[in-house]
Chain A
Amino acid sequence: MTKGIGRSLLDVLTSLKTTIVCLAALMVLVVACTLAQVNLGTLGAVNQFMRAWIVWWDVPRTDLTLPVFPGGALVGLVLAANLIAVQLSRLERSWKKVGIWIAHAGLILLVLGEFVSAAFQVETRLAIEQGQTVNYVESPREQELALIDTTDPKFDDVYGVPESRLAHGGTVAIPGTPVSLRVSAFYPNAALRNRGPSDPPSGATQGVGTAVAVAPLPPVTRDDDVNTVAALVEPVVGGRSFGTWLVSNALGAPQGFISEGHSYKLAMRPRREYLPFSMTLKKFSHDVYPGTDIPKNFSSLVHIANPSRGEDRDVLIYMNQPLRYLGRTYYQASFGKGDTLSILQVVQNPGWLLPYISCVLVTLGLLIHFGLMLRRSVRKQMKTMQQEAA
């Protein structure tokens, strides 16, 4: 009985029909994902359709959520499995089929590359003003609660608590310091405004938060929107509380307290990752075609200083010409502040080379296969023509 099921599962897996069904399902998903982008933004649509295992549908006017379609990840997985299975079990191993073999191997690599990207790709950004030196990249969406020890004027000690840890609640002990933070509330997205006479208190007993009203909101989905993350935290040092503070990326200046001769600052800010080197923006250029507003070129001349590797050099980053350095790639993405601020998109993707290899393989495979086919067809055509002539 189990053997029967295994057998028929193998049949399904090695069937060309499965290939076609997967390709068709992928088309449906791609169309749905494209149309959904108008409302959800690219990231929201991709997460709902392509990167999901199952596409869920919120039935209107109810709390029901029904699975309606396999998601892109599931279809991709089945397609890859089907490709491998067909390759191994059905496709004859002959020189006539060598093109198909190469092309399919390339395709498997392509699907694999997309899985690697989905799992490991990290996108951050680096905003840098002319003359400024920066040694960190920031997440475009995620926030972190930074506890900064500013006692020594020469340098700051920074401890970051990620959003996900705050969402967990409870007490967060900050390593290397006597401070622990008691999280009494966390809002993934909220609207903050000056507290009016009828607004409920935010719960903060210290800092600007006492004059602010917090209204929770659902998290944003559109690409260009950023959540206003808010939390109520109570720093505790050796059993002594320093009051409850409201922290949010919507509040401007960091708030601070002093304990045992250390001054600390609390700030909710884009999650930072520190780089093993520093980058200085020497010059940002933004050229337009004469007499028009059409941008001709954006470029950032940056200086890279990496003492651990003894590197000290200038690099020009411009459109279609990114800097690949230490596993991250830096792209010219945007600019601001009257052309003095340059924003670089920073991408970390261990699988970035896979599509390149796959592209070469599939192209080569298809060329070989269709070339062989064309030769056969032309030969046949010649034969019929000779017969007709004869």
Chain B
Amino acid sequence: MKTERFLPWAVGALALAAAVFAAKAPGKVNGFDVDAFARLPVLEGGRVKPVDSVARNSLLMIRSQQSFRYDGRGVGADEWLLDVLFRPQRADQQPVFVINDPDVLGLLGLRQTADRYFSFAAIAPHLGEVEQQAMAAQRLDPKQRTRFQGAVLNLFERVYLYYRLKNTVQVQGGPPLSAELKAPGAPGADQRRAALVDLGVFRPLPPLAGQRPDAWRSAGEALQQAAAGTVHPGLDPLARLGAAWSSGNPAGFAAATADLRAVSASAHPRALAMARDEIVFNRAQPFYVGMVIYVLALLALFVSWAWRPVLMRNTAFALLVAGAVVHTAGLVYRIILQGRPPVTNLYSSAVFVGWGAVILGVILEAMYRKGFGTAVAAASGFASLIVAHHLAGDGDTMEMMRAVLDSNFWLATHVVTITIGYSGTFLAGAIAIGYTLRKHLASNLDDGTTKALASMTYGVIAFALFFSFLGTVLGGIWADQSWGRFWGWDPKENGALLIVLWNAIILHARWGGFARERGIMAMAIFGNIITSLSWFGVNMLGVGLHSYGFMDKAFWALSAFIGTQLLFIALCLVPRRFWAGGGEAAAGPGPKATSGSRA
């Protein structure tokens, strides 16, 4: 009995310990303290962040991953960025460009290989062609582009980002920064400085004491000022850092990073602290770790159906709680880091929807103790974090808020409540799917669990109706505050309204006795379709005031999701005699009259 109580929690604690361990700083790379470089604060995308975030997001955009293997060992994003900045001839050989589209590969004269990663050097001979095709595609409306055109434009954008990164600190193929600093009057130096100003991706030099806090300098601007007589104290260490990296001098590299750090520490100490906090978040990857723990919870639950049910079910629950702790910690950390409510873009809405579903699932499990809450919570937590993971490929997930969205009050009220509404609707759908699968797979069903499932679904739908209604109306009020229309029938508003209407229909159908247990379950699964369309589908329409996050890649994923949901609805609605556990019930007179009573 004791093992069944304590072992599960020990497993949960172990998972948490592993999550903390993941946040540990990495060791040195070939004797270079790359970590010290990664922590340096820079300004990019309108906010201060560690250079590590720039490296990770750039590599994520170019390769869809935050690290890769090259020369028989793993290369992290920071090391890669150092090569791109200061040793481009090496970076050009590294396979960082992911290309999936066969037509684009054909254009480049490349074959489809087992790994879909190619180096810049492999693409370079065909750059003119790529640019020409991409420019042709760019003139078209995104919706009218062919798959090839979308893919070639995407490749071009990534190559362009790579090109800009290479020309951030020093002009590629030109003299290194140290030489530029020594000879400001060298032939062509003026043009090179102008090129750096134009192309630089991030601004590495902090504002000095007495300057405006957003007066960060790019390398090009600092060189222009140096030529005019004012030398930024960070410029020389930056030049030494580059020289040390490209010549393989770890001691010089360490000294240069320390000097750069000292410049930040004296000029802008807050930036250093912000960069330090963010790098912890980058390394911990709480949403990725949480995703893994949710999978483990699901696996433990599957095992429980075959072996030691109580022990494994408790273990699954403990793992779910551990996952929820990591997920919550990540969410809270992000809120503090960004100084914003949890939902600011599509990515964070996915993280938050999953979180809401998990927390609700934990509560349901604590109330009913049937293993069902764990199953749906872990599954929806995992699914939404997977979605978030794929949405993160667009770059910085903590980008600055556009003017109209720049309102913490409304983000905190409207966006958060509506997202909780999504969570609830998805959770109800997940429970209904669980109900369907159980009916088909389990041979002996106890009535108590079935009843518990029905009342869980009902309760969660009521919860979802409340939050989606409140969120929708708050959205209307925000709209009234910002452009004078309480309700404009904008696609996103309509999507939210559909969720409200659908949940209202389910509840009224139940109260009126028009839909019984199975009907309610099928309707709850259909709620998944409506919510996914409202959440992502309207972004694909590309009209209206809310279409800030246009995306087309997700179209197939969304279609596949809807297909599976329709399949579940069909499974839910097939007559009882096809159910594994429903054979006897088919002989009965049908649902009892009590289900018609109104709540």
Contact = CB atoms under 8 A, between A and B. Distances in A.
Given A34-B495, A289-B46, A296 B487 contact: no
A373 B482 contact: no
Contact of B498 (A30, A291, A349, A384): A30
B544 A42 contact: yes
- For the complex of A and B, the 6 pairs showing the least CB-CB separation, nearest first, are A289-B46, A347-B484, A16-B512, A290-B214, A359-B473, A292-B46
B47 interface: yes
Interface stretch (A54-62, A225-233, A302-310, A361-369): A361-369
A17 B512 contact: yes
Interface of A: 16-17, 19-20, 23-24, 26-27, 30-31, 33-35, 37-38, 42, 45-46, 50, 110, 113-114, 117, 123, 288-292, 294-298, 319-322, 329, 331, 333, 345-347, 349, 352, 355-356, 358-359, 362-363, 366-367, 370, 373-374, 377-378, 381, 384
Contacts of B490: 42
A331 B482 contact: yes
B260 to A, nearest CB: 19
Nearest to B203: A291
A31 B505 CA distance: 16
Given A42-B544, A294-B399, A355 B480 contact: yes
Contacts of B599: 373
Q: Tell me the interface secondary structure of chain A in the complex.
A: helix
Contacts of B410: 320
A384 B446 CA distance: 15
Contacts of B556: none
A16 B508 contact: yes
Contacts of B504: 23
10 contacts: A37-B541, A110-B473, A113-B486, A289-B45, A295-B402, A319-B404, A319-B407, A359-B476, A370-B463, A381-B368
A349 B476 CA distance: 14
B400 A294 contact: yes
Interface stretch (B66-74, B349-357, B430-438, B464-472): B464-472
Nearest to B488: A42
B418 to A, nearest CB: 13
Nearest to A290: B214
A23 B504 CA distance: 8
A373 B406 contact: no
Interface residues of B, number: 65
B404 A320 contact: yes
B473 A295 contact: no
Contacts of B482: 319-320, 322, 331
Contacts, number: 166
B477 interface: yes
A34 B541 contact: yes
Most buried by A among B214, B498, B599: B599
Interface of B: 43-47, 203, 214-216, 218, 367-368, 399-400, 402-404, 406-407, 410, 448, 455, 459, 462-463, 465-466, 469-470, 473-474, 476-478, 480-491, 494-495, 497-498, 501-502, 504-505, 508-509, 511-512, 514, 538, 541-544, 599
A34 B538 contact: yes
A45 B485 contact: no
A187 to B, nearest CB: 29
A24 B512 contact: no
Contacts of B218: 291
B455 A377 contact: yes
B486 A352 contact: yes
A289 B480 CA distance: 26
Nearest to B470: A363
B541 A38 contact: yes
Contacts of A378: 367
Contact of A331 (B47, B215, B462, B483): B483
A117 B218 CA distance: 51
A355 to B, nearest CB: 5
A295 B403 contact: yes
Contacts of A110: 473
Contacts of A291: 43-46, 203, 216, 218
Contacts of A295: 402-403
B495 to A, nearest CB: 7
Nearest to A118: B487
A45 B489 contact: yes
Nearest to B482: A320
A355 B473 contact: yes
B133 to A, nearest CB: 26
Contacts of B497: 30
A329 B486 CA distance: 12
Contacts of A359: 470, 473-474, 476-477
Contact of B400 (A17, A26, A296, A321): A296
Of B469, B480, B484, B487, chain A has the most CB atoms within 10 Å of the CB of: B484
B469 A362 contact: yes
A23 B218 CA distance: 57
B491 A290 contact: no
Nearest to A331: B484
Given A297-B406, A359-B473, A367-B466, A37 B491 contact: yes
B45 A292 contact: yes
Contact of A370 (B203, B407, B462, B494): B462
Contacts of A17: 512, 514
A347 B542 CA distance: 26
Given A290-B216, A296-B400, A26 B501 contact: yes
Contacts of B45: 289, 291-292, 294
B481 A358 contact: no
B494 A34 contact: yes
Given A27-B501, A38-B541, A19 B508 contact: yes
Contacts of A381: 367-368
B44 to A, nearest CB: 7
A319 B404 CA distance: 6
Given A110-B473, A377-B459, 4 more contacts: A20-B505, A24-B505, A349-B484, A366-B465
A42 B542 CA distance: 12
A331 B367 CA distance: 49
Contact of A20 (B215, B487, B509): B509
Contacts of B542: 38
A31 B497 CA distance: 10
Contact of A366 (B214, B367, B469, B491): B469
A296 B406 contact: yes
B423 to A, nearest CB: 16
A380 to B, nearest CB: 8
B169 to A, nearest CB: 15
Contact of B508 (A23, A298, A320): A23
A123 B43 contact: no
Contacts of B215: 290
B95 to A, nearest CB: 30
A290 B203 CA distance: 10
A45 B463 CA distance: 32
A297 B46 CA distance: 13
Contact of A298 (B47, B403, B474): B403
A366 B407 contact: no
Contact of A333 (B44, B478, B483, B512): B483
A352 B502 CA distance: 26
A119 to B, nearest CB: 14
B403 A297 contact: yes
B249 to A, nearest CB: 31
Given A16-B508, A320-B404, A347-B484, A362 B541 contact: no
A319 B403 contact: yes
Interface centre among B404, B407, B494 (most CB of A within 10 A): B494
B46 A20 contact: no
Interface centre among A30, A33, A46, A329 (most CB of B within 10 A): A30
B494 A33 contact: yes
Nearest to B143: A38
A85 B455 CA distance: 29
A285 to B, nearest CB: 11
Contacts of B505: 20, 23-24, 27
Contact of B487 (A114, A288, A370, A384): A114
